[in-house]
Amino acid sequence: MRESWRWFGPNDPVSLAEIRQTGATDIVSALHDIPIGEAWPRDRIAAHKAMVEEDNASLTPLHWTVVESIPVHDDIKLAADGHGKYVAAWIKSMENLAAEGIKTICYNFMPVIDWTRTDLRYQLPSGVYALRFDQDRFAAFDLFILKRENAQADYCVDEIARAKSTFETMDAAEQAELTQTIIAGLPGRMTDAYSLDDFRAALARYAHMDHDALRANLVAFLARVLPVAEKLDVKLAIHPDDPPWDMFGLPRVICTPDDLDQLFEAAPSPCNGITLCVGTYGSRPDNDLPQMAQQFRDRIHFAHLRGVTRDPAEQRSFFEASHLDSDINMVAVIRNLVDNERALGREIFIRPDHGHLMLGDISKTSNPGYSAIGRMKGLAEIRGVIRAVSAEV
């Protein structure tokens, strides 16, 4: 497997020199400062790549090989008038990346929001901090802070009561922190932060969007993009919706194996693939990750390896656990990925995802989920499993 590491560019608190020390060989990155909907210029891509590879002649080489992500403009997801210009810009970015030899692209099709958590520093008994999604806190925000129109229709009586109780325990500062956590543009979103009014307006644009319409818009987008990807030998790897269920009244269409079956039936190109984000898909108890790693082996171009532990009473609540100690059988997932590589004769890019905030990093500034030591611990654990599984044959 190709061990990779996400790097947010020169302002990332984790430097390329530190990444090199982890033993990772491949960089997962993007041009985060270019506004959504604008094409990435080739010279900017080349400069970013040169920055990554600057010391390769004298030190252990690093290569920018995976893009995460080229954001998809909301007008594309809505099929709004004039959205074709944004599709054309997306394709131009892909062409310019391919011209620089970067041919694996992770992207997502989540409306309005990207990955969502309610706690960015949830302390575990060991003293480390994890990312957490708490359904009651989320509902409290949706119902009593955002006050989304018709939100109560999405919750049962008991859920509303729990959300109200949760909301009543929060003071103004806690409410502000929860709001900031949910809508303020987390790393990986590559979208602007919202005020509450902006957020309501963005949600309102999707008021009449259902699953079938959103899925059709995704397929229409791919119908434009995939023929070019095939000519360039670019692999597209769609990331699942995180968490993988509907939120804020928004439909989400990349959550389950059935969603993927529908996607590949509608767009069968071999360049149409997935990012197997184990933690995201594993947030649903009905997703069997070892089975998915086997079922979609021809489609897996990239894998995020992390696990989650779900709340026994409320299965939509979870915290991000250690990479090998979660509700997901990570050893079985990795074994199937290794088998896939052997069967297909190609390597898969993998990276440790969302490490714990721990040790000296607790007192440092870091992007939530992307501190150095926690991810290095995760990579070391994953690497050990890969070596052990590979040695079995």
| Residues with active-site annotation | 239, 277, 304, 353-354, 370
Tell me the one-letter amino acid at 366: S
Euclidean distance between CA atoms 48 and 264, whole angstroms: 33
Task: Report the candidate in 126, 111, 52, 50 with the shortest Cα–Cα distance to residue 79.
Answer: 111
Inter-helix orientation angle 84-99/42-52, to 10°: 40
Q: What is the dihedral of CA 111, 34, 275, 60, to 10 degrees?
A: -160
Task: Report the candidate in 285, 287, 307 with the shortest Cα–Cα distance to residue 356.
Answer: 307
Euclidean distance between CA atoms 355 and 376, whole angstroms: 8
311 contacts 317 by C-beta, under 8 angstroms = yes
Euclidean distance between CA atoms 236 and 270, whole angstroms: 9
Q: What does the block give as tokens for 208?
A: 């009449």
**Phi, psi at 301, each rounded to 5°:** -105, -10
Apex 360 CA angle, 355 and 363, nearest 5: 95
Q: What does the block give as tokens for 26?
A: 């491949």
Euclidean distance between CA atoms 34 and 92, whole angstroms: 14
Contacts of residue 253, defined as CB under 8 A and 6 or more positions apart, other chains included, come to 109, 211, 214, 215, 218, 241, 259
Q: What is the DSSP string of 266-317?
A: H---TTEEEEEEHHHHTTSTT--HHHHHHHTTTTEEEEEE-EEEE-SS-TT-
